[in-house]
Structure formats: C-alpha cells, structure tokens
Structure 1
Amino acid sequence: MSSLRPALITDIPEILRIQALCYTSIEPERAESFINKLQQAPGCAFVVEDKNDIIKDTGNNSDAEIKENRKLLAYLFALPIRTEQPPALDADDFIVPPEADCLYLHDLAIDPSARGLGLSSPLLEAFFNTARARCFTQTSLIAIQNSVPFWQRYGFHNRHPLSQQPELQARISVYGEAAYLTCAL
C-alpha cells in the first residue's frame, strides 16, 4: 500500500537513492540542497511511501515478528520563486523571495521499480493544490532528459515569453538540454 505525505528531513537518504537511479544528464544534488529546500519551503515537498509489513519468521509461527518496512517510491520538491529566476541546481543557500509569483517544480522522481503505478498523479495533484493554496496563478519547471512530452500532458508549455529569453536560457544551461516550461492555473 502506498501513501502520499509531506517530505521530511529523515527522508533525504531515500530521496538521494531515487535521485541517483533517475538522473543521468545532471550531477545529482547533495543532501544539503534538499535540506535547504525543506527548510525554506515547508509544505512544498512530498513523497510517496510504500508501507509493507514484513513478517520475520523466527522459526516458531507464534514468535513471528512483524516489522513495518517503509520505502520511498517517489518524491516531488517545489519552491516559491520569481518566474524569471529559477533556482540554481544543487543550491544549498536558496531563500524564498518575498515577491515570489510562481510555484516552481524543482524535482519529481519516481523509483524505476515503481514506474507505471501512476505515482506522478498524486504528487502533481499535491503540487497544483499547494500552488493554488498559496494563491499562485502560475507554475514552472525545467524539463530535462527529453521529458517535455510528459509535462505537456499536465498543461506545461514553453510559450511564456520568458521561456526563450537568452538570460533564462543561460541560467538553465547547467541542466544540459533543457526547456523552461510554465503552466497557468
């Protein structure tokens, strides 16, 4: 059984595990970067957790121990930003700007063993609900690893005037081949 919940600092080792499995075109972010995001944007990061009870047989059925095993299957990190200023990759000094006008989807990753289970839907629902609850009218992200078609299914596009500006393109060049996408709410 899987469940969605807010991300916690204690989830960082599992988040790093999933990140290492999912990203090949960028250098993985450090634990300090994720800790900074959790501290700066509480309520903007979510995980999907797989809760399974494991029965450890001690040789005597009456002495069987039940141990709860929790494994993260997916995560999403978002940050309030100014639309034209997506945060740097692996930043451990991010500060939410007081004039934030957009909820930026910094990272969504699903453990390869859990792909096809529909885990992106509850994570994105939580993301969009958070954006609306914070009265943002727009969201954004940087699409990497040929993921633009995936994001287009959720309403993201590159038609925002900022998407093609040289300054923004230079800023996101650290992501390799990437596209800055936005989605109006």
Structure 2
Amino acid sequence: MALPEGGTEQPLSSLSWRPMRPDDIDAVVEVARLSFPDHFEDRACFQNRLALYPRGCFVLADGDEPAKGYLIAYPWRAEAAPPLNTVIEGLPAEPALIYLHDLALHPDARGGGVTRAVVERLAEQAEADGWPAIALVAVNDAVGFWTRHGFQARDIAGLEEKLASYGADARYMIRAL
C-alpha cells in the first residue's frame, strides 16, 4: 500500500530510519491504523513480514522511542500483489523484484519529506542485491507521491480483481533499478 499524502506537522529532526525490530510492531500497527483505516492489517501480518524478510523492514523513530513511521518490503513475483491482511507462508521460490508492501507515517511525522530517505535506501539496497525493480500498489490517491519517487503506473492484465480489494483508486506501480 502507499502512503496517503498530506500531513501537518513540521519535520522532526530527531527522527531517523532504522531497521525494524519485533518490539516495534505495536507502534507499527498503530501507525498503520491511523494511515490506512480502510485497509486494515493486523499485528500478525506485520510480524509475518518482519520474520520473512527483516532486511526490508524499517521504522522512523527517535532512537528507541515508538515508531512514527515504517516501510515494509520483501522479494515477490512480478506483476502480482499479495492479498491484504494475510499471513504469507513464505517468500516465492523464484521472486522477480522487491515488493514495497507498505510505507506509512504517523500524522505527526507527515509533510517533512522524511520518506525520500527510506525509499532511496530501499532502492539502493535492492539494486546492490541484484533486484531489477521495486513494485507496489498505490492507494489513497498516492500515485502522484510515488511518481515523484520514480515509480510508474502499469496496467497489468489479470491483476484488476486483486487490485479492487485495495480500493477503487489502487494502481500497480514499478520503479526500475
């Protein structure tokens, strides 16, 4: 899912992106609840993604304080998106790219441009690991936000039904690396 645009709080200079830890999950669930009220995903979903691919999980926090944002990404199949709020048994046997599952900020941390750092960190890491692209499903009218981060919307035959579960404005997007 993609970050909803907007936000009112000035940038908080004490916040920085760091690897997610299991003790961050409660704060991540709260940020998700505030950011995506129409796309609920429970605690088990976030625990699952962190366990499957910790390398793609980051939080925005002031040291050990509760997270004010998060990014979750993992290897996945091209032209596909996992179902919302679903624990996945494992990563695909032959993944083709990195799937950016979620990026969200607490309302107090929005509007300061803090997302660029983590999106670029993910892109650099994915490219260094040999992945050719990052894909995501943009929701909450966030296509413009993701376009500014180098993603391009793609119409994928056969993906329409799955995207409908993400909402009427959902768009599959890719950033080549």
- Specify if TM > 0.5: yes
Structure 1 residues 23, 179: CA separation in 2 closer, same or farther (over 3 Å shift)?
same
Partner of 2:46: 34
How far does the alpha carbon of each residue in 1:98-151 deviate from its partner, in whole angstroms, 9 at most, with x for none?
211110110000111111222101211221122112211111000001000000
Q: Choose which of 97, 104, 111 in structure 2 pairs with 1:109.
A: 104
1:24 paired with 2:37, answer yes
Number of positions where the alignment pairs a residue of Structure 1 with one of Structure 2:
163
Q: RMSD of the alignment, in Å?
A: 1.4
Share of identical aligned residues, percent?
A: 33
Partner Cα distance (2:43, 2:38) in 1: 19
Partner of 1:133: 128
Task: Report how far residue 97 of structure 1 moved.
Answer: 1.1
User: Which runs of at least 4 in structure 1 moved beyond 2 Å after TM superposition?
Assistant: none
Partner of 2:162: 171
Report the AA paired with residue 32 of structure 1. A
Partner Cα distance (2:145, 2:174) in 1: 13
Alignment of 1:66-81 (within 5 A): 70-81=65-76
Partner Cα distance (2:42, 2:142) in 1: 22
Q: Choose which of 57, 62, 72 in structure 2 pairs with 1:45.
A: 57
Report the AA paired with residue 73 of structure 2. A
Residue pair 1:74, 1:109 contacting (<8 A) in 2 also: yes
Partner Cα distance (1:48, 1:70) in 2: 10
- TM-score, normalised via structure 2 length: 0.87
Partner of 1:84: 79
How far does the alpha carbon of each residue in 1:35-61 deviate from its partner, in whole angstroms, 9 at most, with x for none?
11111112111011124xxxxxxxxxx
Moved more, 129-138 or 13-22: 129-138
1:9 paired with 2:27, answer no
- TM-score, normalised via structure 1 length: 0.83
Task: Report how far residue 90 of structure 1 moved.
Answer: 1.1
Q: Which has the higher contact order (CA 8 A, sep 6+)?
A: 2
Helix, strand or coil for the counterpart of 1:92? coil
Partner of 1:95: 90
Partner Cα distance (2:172, 2:78) in 1: 10
Partner Cα distance (2:119, 2:28) in 1: 17
Larger Rg: 1
Residue pair 1:37, 1:94 contacting (<8 A) in 2 also: no
Specify which structure has the higher proportion of strand. Answer: 1
Partner of 1:180: 172
Mind listing any 5+ residue stretches in structure 2 that lack a counterpart? 1-13
Partner Cα distance (2:88, 2:76) in 1: 14
Mind listing any 5+ residue stretches in structure 1 that lack a counterpart? 52-68
